[in-house]
Amino acid sequence: MKNIPVYHVDAFTDQAFGGNPAGVVPEASDLTEKEMQNIASELNLSETAFLYHSDSPDADYRIRYFTPAEEIDFCGHATIATAWILATKYAWADRTNQVVLQTNGGLVPVKWVKEHGRLTAVSMTQLPPKTNDIVEDPTAIASLLGIKPSDLDEQFPIKMSNTGVWHLLVPVKTRVAIDKAQPKLNELANMNKRYNISTTHLFTFNTDDKNLDLYTRDFCPAIGIKEDPVTGAANGALAGYLYLEGVLDATKTHALMIGQGHAMNRPGFLSVTVTPQEDYPRIEVAGSAVITIEGTMTL
């Protein structure tokens, strides 16, 4: 019999029942892959993160992410949730400035953000961004998303972007149009699988909120999730896209505040910093978290 510590953490929020909930299993060294998948299915959250020893000299932990249906290479909000557990329950914030997590795609450093000695957020540096074209008619994409073709914002291209996994980024003119989206989930899942896309991410600069730079919404039926409330990976990929497509000035550092989850009554907020570097921009996605459940799972 195994007794496994398990946490339920709301990420990208400082209020319980907001943001995006993730499962965190911080002591997964004795678990098999099948047990990890079973735990993720049992918790039935969009993603559950599992931590165990890393063989890499440059990493503090190995981390894997499972949806209720399958393993994925990277998940932003589950990374934020895991780092929050390490900082608050395993005292990492008291003895070091950051941890480095080894994902399937590469190393992800996560640092603590403190005010007057109190942890207020954690910030992860995502993998270098890259973009790719998608050979699909924009009108067909709009139809799959349940929006009008006229809702698409033609100032910006529809593209795939990646800071860990691939996302399809769809520019939309208004927040109202994004909130009204009613995707054809089965057909959207089939299209995403053809391109190895994890999620389809709608975004707009027309946020109706002076405190937000961008408003987004994320659909991910290809990985067994209808909609994810607040997505660190997709919004990091969005920031990389904005930089690589020349929407952001490549000579300046940019601090973006992004809102998501409002359409699901789980509002959350991400702070994304884009810093120019010689070869590629550094994308840092930060947010706070709230532990809502902690306990033990018996296997």
CA distance 25 to 74: 16
Tokens 């990985």: give the residue: 223
- The one-letter amino acid at 260: Q
- Which residue among 47, 71, 136, 227 is the active-site one? 47
Could you tell me if 50 and 78 are in contact, meaning their C-beta atoms sit under 8 angstroms apart? no
* Phi, psi (deg, nearest 5) at residue 298: -100, 125
Q: Is 42 a catalytic residue?
A: no
Could you tell me if 11 and 260 are in contact, meaning their C-beta atoms sit under 8 angstroms apart? no
CA distance 290 to 87: 12
Tell me the C-alpha to C-alpha distance, in Å, between residue 94 and each of 87, 286, 294: 8, 19, 21
The β-bridge partners of 219 are 200, 227
Task: Give catalytic residue positions.
Answer: 47
